[in-house]
Structure 1
Amino acid sequence: MTLEILKDKEELRAVIDAYATLGDDKKLTEQMALFTPDTTYNVFMNGHQVVATSGRDQMEKDFAEHIAQVKTYFTLNGQFSVTVDGDTASGVSFSQLKMIRETEGKDVLTDYSVRYEDTFVRQDGKWLIKARIGHFIMIEVREINN
């Protein structure tokens, strides 16, 4: 493995971690800057597709609607593997994503175990997400006391 490949892998991991951190902080504009303008974003829950978004502008609108419903996000990233081929790359990452929403005056925690499949491209020397597929494998919902 060359030093260039190792550098690319480190930069790609930084993109994945930035996605999580910016999402947790609800910094939507900065988070969207991690995607190509023609990005695609798909979500599957229990094997069924529940989200299919094309284009960064549409994705930003969809994410903004979601953010408005969530009080708190917390993401913990785990394993990440990526294959780099010049200015393209593909990878798989795993995350624990927690969201707190208020329902009928009570805080409700939804805990997701997610496997992301990503396609990346390097544009103007910067790695961006070209396509993201989220497989929400386990979902737990419970009321919490804060």
Structure 2
Amino acid sequence: MTLENLKVKEELRSLIDDYATLGDEKKISEVMDLFTPDVTYKVYMNGALVSSVSQRENMEKEFNQHSGHVKTYFTLNGQHKVKIDGDTASGISFSQLKMIREVEGKDILSEYSVKYEDEYINHNGKWLIKNRIGHFIMIEVRELAN
């Protein structure tokens, strides 16, 4: 493995961590800066396609709408494997995502175990996500006891 490949792997890991951190902070416009303008993003829950969006401005609208219903996000990132091919790369990452929403005056916690399949592109020296598929594999929803 070359030093250049190690550098790229670190940059891609940072991209994934920035997505989680900025998303948790609801900095949606900054999250959008991590994607190409022609991004595609698909979400599967229990194997069924539940969302498919393309173009960064459409995705920003959806993310803003979703975050408006969430009181708190909390994300932990796990493994991240990438294959680098020049100015493109592909990767798989795993995350634990928690969301708290208020429903009928009660805090509801949703926990998701997510596998992301990504395609990345280096644009003007900056790595961006071009395509993302989120597989929400395990989902648990319960009322929080505060």
TM-score over 0.5 for the pair: yes
Q: What's the counterpart of residue 97 of structure 1?
A: 97
| Mapped partners of 1:46, 1:24: distance in 2 | 23
Q: Which amino acid in 2 is paired with 1:5?
A: N
Deviation at 1:145, TM superposition (A): 2.4
Matches within 5 A, 1:8-87: 8-87=8-87
Unpaired runs of 5+ in structure 1? none
| Mapped partners of 2:145, 2:27: distance in 1 | 26
Unpaired runs of 5+ in structure 2? none
> What's the TM-score once normalised by structure 2's chain length?
0.99
Runs of 4+ in 1 over 6 A off after TM superposition: none
Q: Which amino acid in 1 is paired with 2:44?
A: F
| Mapped partners of 1:131, 1:83: distance in 2 | 15
SS at match of 2:21: helix
Taking only aligned residues, the RMSD between alpha carbons, in angstroms, comes to 0.4
> What's the TM-score once normalised by structure 1's chain length?
0.99
Q: What's the counterpart of residue 112 of structure 1?
A: 112
| Mapped partners of 2:111, 2:139: distance in 1 | 6
Q: Which amino acid in 2 is paired with 1:47?
A: G
SS at match of 1:17: helix
Deviations 1:37-60 (A, max 9, x none): 000000000110000000000000
| Mapped partners of 2:45, 2:31: distance in 1 | 23
SS at match of 1:135: strand
Q: Which amino acid in 2 is paired with 1:99?
A: M
| Mapped partners of 2:36, 2:61: distance in 1 | 15
| Mapped partners of 1:106, 1:47: distance in 2 | 29
| Mapped partners of 2:49, 2:67: distance in 1 | 20
| Mapped partners of 1:94, 1:133: distance in 2 | 12
Deviation at 1:73, TM superposition (A): 0.1
Q: Which amino acid in 2 is paired with 1:19?
A: Y
